[in-house]
Structure 1
């Protein structure tokens, strides 16, 4: 039986790396399309909707793992050390934040003469992606401190 803290780590890892992949993929698509054509607000909207759909699909398994972790916490009477799982989650989040900002900077530095709408969309998508990346790890950290 896996300790609940490690279920939270697994859920966080799957969610963070999956959403990071989806974020980097959507940034790449935006860069390629922006080089070939000027994107409209409608195109940005469709790309953002696609990103949200991918994130929802990616988070399905981590949410189930978090629920299973909470169920195991109820039946598991032994308290475990959460220092190593907590450090693992922090390391995964640090890796993801670093990659998000590197991708953002790459998208913005290659676009010196791009329209302001493009830059605003990249910034909006970056901060939305960061918020989504932090969702499951935040729940996991709270779950770890409950037992």
Structure 2
């Protein structure tokens, strides 16, 4: 049961950050304001979203102390977290390909393409941070 705390933390982080990313990404593409302000708002949302997953990871690590888990206990949680990596990367790269397509049709400017691409790669890193931490902690609690 404890390894699933790490999974829940990863799910909350990935879903939350991807939704914040999509909102910021669309705001950049639609030109709803200064790119720096949109990115600042995105980082603020990410900080708020990551608070609960960090607490869940700490609780999971504290509860796992003194207990022993085998690799068989974490196969399914590991598979779910790895699936989150794939999901996150697929979503972001599909958004990037849409932006490239819009640029080829000359519907957006080059600077908009660069801003959208920049926030996309930042989103990949931020959305994968909690799953990486979850993977490390799940491996650490196995004996």
2:31 partner SS: helix
1:24 to 2:22 alignment:
yes
Shift of 1:23: 0.6
Query: What corresponds to 1:140 in structure 2?
Result: 134
Shift of 1:108: 2.8
CA distance in structure 2 between the aligned counterparts of 1:128 and 1:78, rounded to whole angstroms: 36
Query: What corresponds to 2:84 in structure 1?
Result: 92
Query: What corresponds to 1:60 in structure 2?
Result: 51
Query: What corresponds to 1:46 in structure 2?
Result: 37
Corresponding residue to 2:98 among 97, 100, 106: 106
Unpaired runs of 5+ residues, structure 1, are: none
TM-score normalised by structure 1 residue count: 0.87
Query: What corresponds to 1:4 in structure 2?
Result: 2
Shift of 1:115: 2.8
Q: Deviations over 1:52-108 (max 9, x none)?
A: 001001111001000001111114x23141111000011122112111111122123
1:78 partner SS: coil
Shift of 1:24: 0.8
Query: What corresponds to 2:12 in structure 1?
Result: 14
CA distance in structure 2 between the aligned counterparts of 1:28 and 1:119, rounded to whole angstroms: 12
Shift of 1:31: 1.8
TM-score normalised by structure 2 residue count: 0.89
Count of aligned pairs between the two proteins: 137
Instruction: Give the conservation status (yes or no) of the 8 Å contact 2:84–2:131.
Output: no
Structure 1 runs (4+) greater than 2 angstroms displaced: 111-116
1:78 to 2:68 alignment:
yes
Shift of 1:110: 1.5
